[in-house]
Structure 1
């Protein structure tokens, strides 16, 4: 096939342009020190590089999650340390208020301080992390999960869930504790599980409220009448009954205004105590009788959270009340019970700090693991991306020589004519 001069020139110019493009691309890769990123250059290397890059991005997300988890755990530890300090001060107040020499004026001052500490605990419970997200709202997204109602009760508007972040292909890390665990699940000395704020409210009530009900036991000779708090509602009720034959703790599920179940429970323990019980003529109170001194104490009405007395008691003489009824405070307002409750509160926050500390240590350990994996994957990516500069320079020189030889050949061939062939 015959090729004309014009076509010959065009084909050579295209070839020179392609060589110059390859040379320019090679010079750029030598300058950057990286391999050709196109899949067509090396399909196998491209696949391996894509997988390594994806793994590198995944490890970056794990590292970010661990940093976020560490930040939240650090904030939670700081907040719980503050809560523990408040609990320690509450313990000092409980101890001071239990002293018989403490006057009413000083009790009022202590009760006022307890209210201030209660407000501080609400602020602690609504603390946020460095990003402004609540530490104790669970997954609800509520900014202030603990709110005080108009009646003075503190209600929780979060949930019991705990935020977790993925830290590896197979692991996730808890980033704190739930508000329900931190501030609602405290087991009291009387066996009830209540909130932190219930304990504080009971301490304030035992210090400053119903000063006429500072005793939790009542004793009388021969008989007494016990009237439970009608506002306590229905629910399990426990109390200690002591008579001439001994002492027993009795319990019953009492319906409001109907003490029959508790009467039956007291009579079931008559062999231990020597005390019998019957429903009083008013239908709402309990009459206790025994051949000697009888007493009632340690009254627990589960679910009752009021500041008033748990019951009233009056001595009986032949079934007739003698004197004025005396108010009895519930067991949770007892001096020793208050000190035990606040001590439990301190231990509760200390345990939470230990748990958060263990989670923080786990975050640090997993963080080191992720960092080591990131170093390894960076080395793998570098091995796939980095250019063999010596080989590339040799290739560049070869291409430059090829271009120069091609250009010289083109000049030589394009300069020939018929007379050159005849010569």
Structure 2
């Protein structure tokens, strides 16, 4: 077959262009470090790389969610730590109020201290995260979640928690009502109350003597004084006030425990005729602010008898200990959330690293192999270039000249 000079030129140019393209692709792979530049280079590897990229991006998004939760919980844990410190300081002031040598003015001074702690606690309850979100707003609020009203502090947020999804649900807010407004009243099982106290008697917080005998009832303890003899009468009632059975009576001895239906409580001092105390089942309704407001109001009462002060201190310590326990419980839960967030973050980091490794294995270039291929293609290109130079000289004009 006869091969024309033009055809030889065209074949040489085509081979030269192909070699040049191969050399350029090899050089691009070396500079980018990628073996698969287009899906057409290796469809299977390109699909693997795409799936790995999507997995890594999902893990990165989840990591940001975990970080948001962790930051919020760290701020919340710090706020609860400040609250616990303030309540403990308030407790010390209530203990000091029990000093029998204190005057009304000194007790008012302690009440002023409690007011400062109460204001500090309200500020902590309304603390923000720096981005306009309240730490204790629950599922959200239009403004500060805790509002100081004439009837006491009210929670204006929404019950529950706002959360992020990061493989598992992690909160970014805490239910403020649960933390600040729902401590157990009384000793956690029942609450002792003063109904009428015209004498010098006071009742302690009580204790459970037999858990199996506890009943969901109200108990009215009324004292009768006839001459030098004092007796008590305990009337069982349903929670709506309906009388439940005959009353239980007995002689009163100051400081001696009175027991009924698994409950034990002690009345001290000298009750007046008709004085009445009461026990009711405990409820999750005690707030941090009500506990302090009650103690503040009672410590500011002038001409308080020692029995009144003893009653204030007993109930004040009971309530403060209850709200303190509640805050510490919520703080522990926040600490557990931080530990869980750390675990989730570690798992997501491992997932992201695995996805990036898979993507690298699918599309990254083996540099040793890449350099070898580049050198081979460069050698081939040089050979084609020299061949083309030789073909150019195979012309009749070269000889006629």
The equivalent residue for 1:229 is: none
**Closer, same or farther in 2 for the Cα pair 1:75/1:12, shift >3 Å?**
same
What are the within-5 Å matches in structure 2 for residues 60-99 of structure 1? 60-99=60-99
**Closer, same or farther in 2 for the Cα pair 1:12/1:238, shift >3 Å?**
farther
The equivalent residue for 2:125 is: 125
SS of residue in 1 equivalent to 2:373: helix
What are the within-5 Å matches in structure 2 for residues 40-59 of structure 1? 40-59=40-59
Cα distance in 2, alignment partners of residues 157 and 68 from structure 1: 24
Unaligned runs of 5+ in 1: 195-213, 221-235, 255-260, 275-291, 309-328
Cα distance in 1, alignment partners of residues 189 and 19 from structure 2: 86
Deviation at 1:143, TM superposition (A): 4.8
Cα distance in 2, alignment partners of residues 10 and 141 from structure 1: 78
Deviation at 1:137, TM superposition (A): 0.8
The equivalent residue for 1:241 is: 222
The equivalent residue for 1:370 is: 348
Deviation at 1:175, TM superposition (A): 4.1
**Closer, same or farther in 2 for the Cα pair 1:399/1:340, shift >3 Å?**
same
Higher relative contact order (CA closer than 8 Å, sequence separation 6+): 2
The equivalent residue for 2:113 is: 113
Say what the alpha-carbon RMSD is for the aligned residues.
Answer: 4.1
Cα distance in 2, alignment partners of residues 9 and 178 from structure 1: 83
Deviation at 1:48, TM superposition (A): 0.9
The equivalent residue for 1:159 is: 158
Deviation at 1:404, TM superposition (A): 3.2
Cα distance in 2, alignment partners of residues 409 and 341 from structure 1: 99
Deviation at 1:39, TM superposition (A): 0.7
SS of residue in 2 equivalent to 1:165: strand
Instruction: Count matched residues.
Output: 338
CA contact (8 A) 1:215 1:334 kept: no
**Closer, same or farther in 2 for the Cα pair 1:122/1:419, shift >3 Å?**
closer
Normalization by structure 2: what TM-score? 0.70
Which of 180, 185, 189 is the equivalent residue of 1:183?
Answer: 180
What are the within-5 Å matches in structure 2 for residues 298-309 of structure 1? 298=278
Could you report, residue by residue, the CA deviation over 1:184-224 in whole angstroms, capped at 9, with x for unpaired residues?
11112166999xxxxxxxxxxxxxxxxxxx9953469xxxx
**Closer, same or farther in 2 for the Cα pair 1:2/1:250, shift >3 Å?**
farther
The equivalent residue for 2:206 is: none
Matched, 1:393 2:371: yes
